[in-house]
Amino acid sequence: MCGIIAYTGAEPATPILVSGLRTLEYRGYDSAGIGVQNGSCRITVTRALGVDQLAEAVAGGTSNDGVEPTVGIAHTRWATHGGVTISNAHPHTSADGRVAVVHNGIVENYLDLRVELSDAGYRFGSETDSEVIAHLIARCLKSGESLASAVRGAAGRIRGASSFVATSADEPGVIVGVRLGNAGGIVVGIGDGFHLLASDVLAILPHTDRVIYLRSGEVVTISSAAAGFTDLNGATLERRPFKTGRSFEAAAKGEHPHFMAKEIAEQPEAASSAMRRRVDFENGTVDLPEVPYSDDEIRSFDRIIVTGMGTSLHAGMYGAQMIEALTGIPTQAENASEFRYRSTSLNDRTLVISVTQSGETVDTLAAMESASAAGAKQIALVEAEDTQATLMADGTLYLRAGQEIGVASTKTMICSLTVLYQLAVYLGIRRGALSPDRARELVSDLSRLPGLIAEMIDDGGDCRRLAVERLKDRRHLLYLGRGALQPMAMEGALKMKEIAYIHAEGYAAGEMKHGAIALISEDMPTIALVPQGALYDKMVGNINEVKARGGEVIALATRGDEVMPGLADEVLWLPEAPEWIVPLLSLVPMQQLAYHTSVALGLDPDKPRNLAKSVTVE
Ligand code: F6R
Distance CA 425, CA 419 (A): 10
In terms of domains, do 151 and 266 share one? no
Residue nearest to atom 11 of ligand 1 (CA): 310
Q: What are phi and psi of 392, to 5 degrees?
A: -85, -30
The alpha carbon of 92 is separated from its chain's Cα centroid by a whole number of angstroms, namely: 26
CATH number for position 577 = 3.40.50.10490
In terms of domains, do 96 and 215 share one? yes
The per-residue pLDDT for 61 is 64
Whether a cis peptide bond, with omega within 30° of 0, leads into 608 is no
Q: Which atom of ligand 1 is nearest to the CA of 412?
A: 14
Stronger pLDDT, 517 or 554, i.e. the higher one: 554
131, with CB counted inside 10 A (0-12, 13-18, 19+), is buried
In a domain, 57, yes or no: yes
> Which residues are known catalytic residues?
2, 613
In terms of domains, do 173 and 219 share one? yes
Ligand 1 probe mutation, 78, 309, 318, 397, most atoms within 8 A of CB: 309
CATH number for position 177 = 3.60.20.10
The contacts of residue 437 (CB under 8 Å, 6+ apart) are none
3-state SS assignment for residue 505? strand
The per-residue pLDDT for 607 is 85
Residue nearest to atom 8 of ligand 1 (CA): 409
Distance CA 472, CA 500 (A): 8
Q: How far is the CA of 271 from the centre of ligand 1 (A)?
A: 18
In a domain, 454, yes or no: no
239, with CB counted inside 10 A (0-12, 13-18, 19+), is middle
The alpha carbon of 75 is separated from its chain's Cα centroid by a whole number of angstroms, namely: 18
Q: Which atom of ligand 1 is nearest to the CA of 410?
A: 7
Q: How far is the CA of 184 from the centre of ligand 1 (A)?
A: 14
- Cβ atoms of residues 214 and 187 within 8 Å: yes
Tell me which of 247, 278, 309 is where a domain ends. 247
In a domain, 87, yes or no: yes
Give the predicted TM-score (pTM) of the model.
0.84
Q: How far is the CA of 2 from the centre of ligand 1 (A)?
A: 15
In terms of domains, do 119 and 156 share one? yes
Strands 195-198 and 303-308: unpaired
Residue nearest to atom 16 of ligand 1 (CA): 356
- The beta-strand segments (E) located in 21-158 are 31-37, 43-48, 71-77, 92-93, 99-105
Q: How far is the CA of 222 from the centre of ligand 1 (A)?
A: 32
Distance CA 234, CA 151 (A): 10
Q: Average per-residue pLDDT in the chain?
A: 93
**Torsion angle, CA of 484/489/492/498, rounded to 10 degrees?**
-120
Q: pLDDT class for 63, splitting at 50, 70, 90?
A: low
Provide mean pLDDT across the span 495-506: 97
- Range in 159-173, 247-261, 561-575 with the lowest mean pLDDT: 247-261
Nearest to 3 by CA among 183, 149, 135: 183
Angle at 488 between CA 591 and CA 578, to 5 degrees: 100
In terms of domains, do 323 and 398 share one? yes
In terms of domains, do 314 and 198 share one? no
The per-residue pLDDT for 616 is 67
Tell me which of 247, 278, 296 is where a domain ends. 247
In a domain, 165, yes or no: yes
Strands 162-168 and 187-190: unpaired
The contacts of residue 358 (CB under 8 Å, 6+ apart) are 382, 383, 384, 387, 613, 614, 615
Q: What are phi and psi of 595, to 5 degrees?
A: -60, -50
Q: How far is the CA of 612 from the centre of ligand 1 (A)?
A: 9
Distance CA 160, CA 292 (A): 32
In a domain, 344, yes or no: yes
For ligand 1, which residues put their CB under 6 angstroms from it?
A: 308-312, 356-358, 361, 364, 408-409, 494, 498, 614-615
184-230 pLDDT tens trace: 789 999 999 999 999 989 899 999 999 999 998 999 999 999 999 99
What's the number of domains the chain is made of? 3
Q: Which atom of ligand 1 is nearest to the CA of 614?
A: 15
In terms of domains, do 482 and 595 share one? yes
Nearest to 539 by CA among 515, 564, 560, 559: 564
Q: Which atom of ligand 1 is nearest to the CA of 361?
A: 16
How far apart, in Å, are the Cα atoms of 47 and each of 53, 128, 132?
A: 9, 15, 18
Tell me which of 382, 414, 447 is where a domain ends. 447
583-611 burial, b for 16+ CB within 10 Å, e for fewer? bbbbbbbbbbbbbbbbbbbebebbbbeeb
Q: Which atom of ligand 1 is nearest to the CA of 416?
A: 14
Q: pLDDT class for 516, splitting at 50, 70, 90?
A: confident
Q: Which helix (H) or strand (E) holds 460?
A: none
Distance CA 150, CA 28 (A): 28
In terms of domains, do 131 and 193 share one? yes
376-397 pLDDT tens trace: 999 999 999 888 899 999 999 9
- Cβ atoms of residues 606 and 405 within 8 Å: yes
Kindly tell me if the per-residue pLDDT of 611 is higher than 80: no
How far apart, in Å, are the Cα atoms of 143 and each of 10, 97, 101, 149, 596?
A: 31, 17, 19, 11, 58
Q: Which atom of ligand 1 is nearest to the CA of 408?
A: 7
Residue nearest to atom 6 of ligand 1 (CA): 309
In terms of domains, do 308 and 441 share one? yes
Q: How far is the CA of 311 from the centre of ligand 1 (A)?
A: 5
Backbone dihedral region for residue 208 (phi beyond 0: left; psi -120 to 50: alpha; all else: beta): beta
336-348 pLDDT tens trace: 999 988 878 899 9
Angle at 237 between CA 231 and CA 242, to 5 degrees: 120
In terms of domains, do 215 and 288 share one? no
Q: How far is the CA of 434 from the centre of ligand 1 (A)?
A: 31
Distance separating the N- and C-terminal Cα atoms of the chain: 11
Q: How far is the CA of 313 from the centre of ligand 1 (A)?
A: 8
Residue nearest to atom 15 of ligand 1 (CA): 358
In terms of domains, do 177 and 313 share one? no
3-state SS assignment for residue 402? coil
Distance CA 507, CA 490 (A): 6
In a domain, 159, yes or no: yes
- Cβ atoms of residues 485 and 510 within 8 Å: no
In a domain, 610, yes or no: no
450-495 pLDDT tens trace: 999 999 887 677 999 999 999 999 999 999 999 999 999 999 999 9
In terms of domains, do 304 and 380 share one? yes
Structural domain including 163 reads 3-247
Kindly tell me if the per-residue pLDDT of 62 is higher than 60: no
